[in-house]
Amino acid sequence: MGAILFPTHSQYLASLGAPHPLSPFPCVSSLPPSLSLLHLLPACSSFDCLQPKPQNAITVAVSSRALFDMVKDRKIYEEEGVETYVKYQEENENLPLNPGPAFYFVKALEQVNARLRELYPKDEELFDIVLMTNNHAQVGVRLINSINHYGLSIERFCMTGGESPIGYLTAYLTNLYLSADSEKVQEAIEAGIASATMFTANKDVPYSDKQLRVAFDGDAVLFSDESEQIVKEHGLDRFFEHEQMNENKPLAQGPLKGFLEDLGKLQKKFYAKNERLDCPIRTYLVTARSAASSGARVLKTLRSWGLEIDEALFLAGAPKGPILVKIRPHIFFDDQMFHIEGAQQLGTVAAHVPYGIGQKYYKSKPKDDTVKK
């Protein structure tokens, strides 16, 4: 898994071929044969529905079970079969679904879009949310009604009918894919797409409605898992030694680096309008590394990428949950399930990035034995 390469967004675009600058659709000629043009049409067919072109937008694809709480619905599907499930959804199509784990994150993205539109009315560098679902088309009515009920601006729908989402994610030039289905997320990560499995927080925590807050773990999330491998295979002492020796050698990029870059690009648009102090995006690094022994390499790596992070928290192995309660991020990305579970227990919406050596370790060892650094 360490060999997965995560391209920059521009490399990703180049690999797909340059789309026609006036085309509202991404590289239609390069779409997989199974993709019809219908999948790419915005849900509203009117031409006054102005969606940014995928090559300009920061596309965030969310699954229906990440956006809405569909736990009960899923149970009906699993226990009573597809026919009963579809009938249930049809009968309840005017009853809005409750918010799911990605809901407040999506709301916060839309708040940022609203601020960007005020400052740059004609600009297309905005978040574009795509609903990616393998639900039956009949269930689409309830999803649309729920989206309208909450006033969400989700114009693009992709109903995959049970097919793998990878072709669609690629076609939409997806910058981030969030789903409740860990297998699909794993598949997307292996295809080099930034993705995470969403988990609902165990408590309701109020979120900032003025600022999008995104927290990232470092190793195997923003960075590759190269240093994580040293911890897991040779222990902490060797890791500290290794990180100090390599302090000036930037770490390779991990699966979520591109998304931090996207956030940074938008932050700069606010800074350019003198809104640094009132920026509606704030980013956090929440790492188990300690500042003194292994922090410098991380900060120098970010600097070498030309990326800023607003706050860097080095916890030296302390649990992440309590600090995340103070930050109250709309989403927290981590590759290790024990950090996800710890965050979740204290009320943080956590997103698991299934990448790197930690996955193998988690599956083969009991939780309590996991080495923290």
Smallest gap from residue 198 Cβ to Mg ion (A): 18
Our answer to whether residue 217 is catalytic in this structure is yes
The end-to-end CA distance of the chain, in Å, is: 21
Residue 14: CB atoms within 10 A of its CB come to: 11
Active-site hit among 69, 128, 204, 217: 217
Residue from 73, 155, 243, 335 binding Mg ion (CB under 5 A): 335
Spatial neighbors of 283 by CB under 8 A, at least 6 apart, are 213, 214, 215, 216, 260, 263, 264, 267, 308, 309, 310, 311
- Under rule CB under 5 A, which residues in 239-258 are in contact with Mg ion? none
DSSP for 13-34 reads HHHH-PPPTT-SSS-GGGS-TT
Q: CA-CA distance, 172 to 239, in Å (whole number)?
A: 39
Contact yes or no for 243/341 (Cβ under 8 A): no
219 binds Mg ion (CB under 5 A): yes
Nearer to Mg ion, 134 or 197 (CB): 197
CB of 133 to Mg ion, least distance (A): 29
Size of the site for Mg ion (CB under 5 A): 4
Residue found by looking up tokens 């009920």 in the block = 149
Residue nearest to Mg ion (CB): 219
226 interacts with Mg ion by CB under 5 A: no
Only segment of 16-24, 177-185, 210-218, 235-243 that touches Mg ion (CB under 5 A): 210-218
DSSP letter (8 states) at residue 96: P
Among residues 340, 192, 314, 333, the alpha carbon closest in space to that of 243 is found at 314
Contact range with Mg ion by CB under 5 A, out of 5-13, 34-42, 253-261, 331-339: 331-339
Q: Which stretch binds Mg ion (CB under 5 A): 199-207, 209-217, 266-274, 302-310?
A: 209-217
Q: Which is nearer to Mg ion, 262 or 335 (CB)?
A: 335
220 binds Mg ion (CB under 5 A): yes
Q: Are 66 and 100 in contact (CB under 8 A)?
A: yes
Residues that bind Mg ion (CB under 5 A): 217, 219-220, 335
Positions annotated as catalytic residues are 217
